[in-house]
Amino acid sequence: MDNHILVVGGSGGVGGELVRQLLEQGHRVRVSSRAPGARAWPDTVELVQGDLERPESMRAVAEGIDSVFLYVQGRSHEAVDHLRAAGVKRVVLLSTIDAANDSRAAAFNRHRHLQVEEAVARSGLAFTCLRPGAFASNAKRFFLPQLSNGSLVRLPFPDSQQAPIATGDIARVAAIGLTSDWLAGQRPVLTGPRSLAQREQVAVLGQLLGRHLEVETVSVDAARAWMSERIPAGYVDMLLGQWEEETHTSATVTSEVERITGRPATSYAEALAWEIAKRER
């Protein structure tokens, strides 16, 4: 089936992989971002400029589109009405596992994402809200930058547990939601296949790099100073709070990726190897 699909924020990790998969499946793809020419795309991809900080811009961006992949940024919740006015029939929203997390540490993320989830649910459009947990690609943000001058990874809570999910798995689920009604109304929680402590994640990274990596526990203040150079303040506090909470329990692990795609969730080692190879290209 040939669908005309808009991927909002196609320059992101999930968005970019989703574009690749949709093109392989023979769908027509339009990519919108604030700077659509900043990334090289195949000639078959239609590039348009749109800005979720200016939700009214999304009406023209979505003209002639059947399905939209949307993520949470700026005024995404206000953009939904403009997508409907443009004639869009289906929205797949990239939300977060935190939308169903009642902990204090998750409040920042929960509120932002539920606001957009409820906007798409009220819109009258067919909708799916994907709720992934920690991304396997987070290693590129938190671990790899620390290795430029050695083999030491400093972490405030190295025993905190996540079940990191592969970018490709999220994109596969999104593609199904964008091209059929099977996931309409669903809010699946997507995770990797195993709960892994961060020190275990670092060990996997070391194996892939062919190096023995050491983990050093540092203070929350030291971690905050380092993270604040790379991540918005609200996210830093949220992550530190969540990592502390996650030292006391295993991460949630679901079988939703396999239920939806028919194949098991990608292992952390395989997902991380793919991310490293992509980073080096």
Tell which residue, 107, 170, 102, has the closest CA to residue 135: 170
pLDDT of residue 106: 86
Separation of alpha carbons 104 and 156, rounded Å: 19
CA dihedral 72, 191, 204, 195 (to 10 degrees): 120
Checking if the pLDDT of 281 tops 60, the result is: no
Place 239 in a pLDDT band, splitting at 50, 70 and 90: very high
Residues 189 and 169 sit within 8 Å (Cβ to Cβ) = no
pLDDT of residue 61: 95
Residues 198 and 239 sit within 8 Å (Cβ to Cβ) = no
Strands (E), the chain: 4-8, 28-33, 46-49, 67-71, 90-94, 126-132, 152-155, 161-162, 189-190, 196-197, 214-217
C-alpha dist (Å) from residue 281 to 45, 73, 278 = 21, 28, 5
Separation of alpha carbons 230 and 212, rounded Å: 25
Composition of the chain by helix, strand, coil, percent to 5: 45, 15, 40
Q: What is the pLDDT of residues 139-149, one digit of tens each?
A: 999 999 999 88
Separation of alpha carbons 42 and 129, rounded Å: 28
Q: What is the pLDDT of residues 97-120, one digit of tens each?
A: 999 988 888 888 999 999 999 999
pTM of the model: 0.95
Q: Which domains does the chain have, with CATH numbers?
A: 4-133+167-190+252-265 (3.40.50.720)
Letter for the amino acid at 242? Q
Place 35 in a pLDDT band, splitting at 50, 70 and 90: confident
Separation of alpha carbons 109 and 115, rounded Å: 10
Tell which residue, 167, 187, 164, 149, has the closest CA to residue 251: 164
Radius of gyration of the chain (CA): 19
Give 281: exposed, middle or buried? Use CB within 10 Å, 0-12, 13-18, 19+.
exposed
